[in-house]
Amino acid sequence: MNRKIYHNLLIIGLFITVCLTWGTTWIAMKIIVSTVPPVFATGLRFLCAAPLLLILAYYKKAPLLFPSGQFGFQLCVTLFYFAIPFTLMLYGERYTSSGLASIIFATMPAAVLTLSLIILRERATVRQILGLAISIVTLSIILWYEGHSSIQNQRYGIIALLIAVLMHAVMYVQCKKRCVGISILSYNALPSLGAGILLTTLGLSESPNFHAFTLQSLLSISYLGIVAGVGGVLAYFALQQITQPFKASLVFMIFPIIAVILDNIINGSSISYQSIILLIPFLLGMILILHRYPQRPNAL
**For each of the chain's 300 residues, which pLDDT tens digit applies?**
577 788 888 899 999 999 999 999 999 999 999 999 999 999 999 999 999 999 999 999 999 999 888 889 999 999 999 999 999 999 999 999 899 999 999 999 899 889 988 888 888 889 999 999 999 999 999 998 887 765 667 889 999 999 999 999 999 888 877 877 788 899 999 999 999 999 999 999 999 999 999 999 999 999 999 999 999 989 988 888 888 777 788 898 899 999 999 998 888 767 888 888 999 999 999 999 887 644 444 444
Rounded Cα–Cα distance for residues 154 and 145 (Å): 12
Question: What confidence score (pLDDT) does residue 74 get?
Answer: 94
SS3 annotation, the chain = CCHHHHHHHHHHHHHHHHHHHHHHHHHHHHHHHCCCCHHHHHHHHHHHHHHHHHHHHHHCCCCCCCCCCCHHHHHHHHHHHHHHHHHHHHHHHCCCCHHHHHHHHCCHHHHHHHHHHHHCCCCCCHHHHHHHHHHHHHHHHHHHHHCCCCCCCHHHHHHHHHHHHHHHHHHHHHHHHHCCCCCHHHHHHHHHHHHHHHHHHHHHHHCCCHHHCCHHHHHHHHHHHHHHHHHHHHHHHHHHHHCCHHHHHCHHHHHHHHHHHHHHHHHCCCCCHHHHHHHHHHHHHHHHHHCCCCCCCCCC
Question: What confidence score (pLDDT) does residue 297 get?
Answer: 45
- Whether 134 and 277 have beta carbons less than 8 Å apart is answered as no
Gyration radius of the chain over CA positions: 19
- Whether 121 and 177 have beta carbons less than 8 Å apart is answered as no
Question: What confidence score (pLDDT) does residue 160 get?
Answer: 95
Nearest to 30 by CA among 82, 92, 103, 85: 92
Rounded Cα–Cα distance for residues 64 and 67 (Å): 9
Exposure of 171 in the CB half-sphere (CA atoms within 13 A) = 24
Burial-class residue 129 by CB neighbours within 10 Å (0-12, 13-18, 19+): middle
Rounded Cα–Cα distance for residues 52 and 38 (Å): 22
Neighbours of 181 (CB within 10 A): 6
Question: What confidence score (pLDDT) does residue 33 get?
Answer: 94
pTM: 0.90
Using N-to-C axis directions, what is the helix angle for 233-242 and 3-33, rounded to 10°?
Answer: 150
Question: What confidence score (pLDDT) does residue 300 get?
Answer: 42
Question: What confidence score (pLDDT) does residue 296 get?
Answer: 43
Question: What confidence score (pLDDT) does residue 1 get?
Answer: 58
- Whether 46 and 226 have beta carbons less than 8 Å apart is answered as no
